[in-house]
Amino acid sequence: MKRRWAWILSLGVSAGFLYLALRGLHLAEVWQALRTARYGWLLPGIAVYFVGLYLRAWRWHYLLRPVRNVPTRELFPVVTIGYMGNNIFPARAGEVIRAVLLRQKYRVPVSASLATILVERVYDGVVMLGFVFLNLPELARLAGSASGFVGDLQSLALWGSIAFLGALALFLAIGMFPERAEAWLTRVVAPLPPRWQERILKPGRAFLQGLRALGSPWEALMVFVTSVSIWLLETAKYWFVMHAFDFRVPFFALMLMNGVVNLATTLPSAPGYVGTFDTPGIAVLVAYGVDKAVATAYTFTLHAALWLPVTALGAYYALREGLRLRDVQQMQVADEAS
């Protein structure tokens, strides 16, 4: 029942966003922009995206080292399978798939893996907000444009910064003072019955261990620099795909678009971030003066170029690992039960 309502909510959010994106749009004009696009520009965009994906695997290797030293080349298929899972299953199920695969292949505790994945997401959020803040003066100029969505980004960025930077500060503190963090966890569960204490302490300690890679400012800085590089490479893909269409905006505008759409995809939506990716991206481009039909054709093409290659490669790796749809569903059920 819980999963059914989650599906209904996700589909409703996606439908609402798609309605906003397509409202008042002449689909014949969108088709014309798609028909005349120069799709050869997608190839270098896909190439730089996979370079960024390999960097994600290296970042995860770096975060996992205090728990288990898994080579980057062996983590890359796991990361790719996880992105496939995020693209075809709801509620970012790919993150659970990554953690479970890592436990099965390398005996890394699921709680420790999920801690490192959560650190990744927090760093990603901080970088995305950085992309938005770099464009705050431009946002102030665009606030009076036809796109009301853009005018709300300044307050959204402020509240998002409080959330992500607060989480990052907490993780850094735990990483630098692990003994204190474990002592605090022990005190918190002390009033509980002994059987409950053990059920909480074991995964809790594994989770804290997953944050040990942030134990020094240098290590935290390395993760941050890697995260910035990952998202700059993804923005480069936006730039290459832009050249397939008849419009040009500055690279910083594409950084803003990248930050906005990826922050929006944290909302519940249908698998593949349908609607939550597209509507904010179109709104940013329209605010920069791009024709809405062209902006829609570009954003849909970009979304497909981000979705299809990594999903296909992830499916290949999943088949190679013998991972079946039923296995993924069992992982989701186990995650909900835990």
pLDDT digits (tens, 9 = 90+) for 296-312: 999 999 999 999 999 99
Instruction: Determine contact, residues 310/84, Cβ cutoff 8 Å.
Output: yes
How many CB atoms neighbour CB 192 within 10 A? Answer: 13
User: End-to-end alpha-carbon separation of the chain, Å?
Assistant: 17
| Rounded (to 5) percent helix, strand, coil in the chain | 80, 0, 20
pTM of the model: 0.85
Q: Token match 């605090």: residue?
A: 184
Report the amino acid identity of residue 319.
Answer: L
Q: Write down the pLDDT at residue 146.
A: 46
Which distant-in-sequence residues (6+ apart) come within 8 Å of 331 by Cβ? 93, 96, 97, 100
pLDDT in tens, the chain (338 residues): 556 666 677 788 888 888 888 888 888 999 999 999 999 999 999 999 999 999 999 999 999 998 899 999 999 999 999 999 999 887 678 888 999 899 888 999 888 888 899 889 888 988 988 888 787 777 666 655 544 555 565 666 666 667 777 877 888 788 778 788 888 878 877 777 777 777 777 777 777 777 777 788 888 889 999 999 999 999 999 999 999 999 999 999 999 999 889 888 887 787 888 888 999 899 889 988 999 999 999 999 999 999 999 999 999 999 888 876 565 655 555 554 45
Summarised one tens digit per residue, pLDDT across range 131-150 is 887 877 776 666 555 445 55
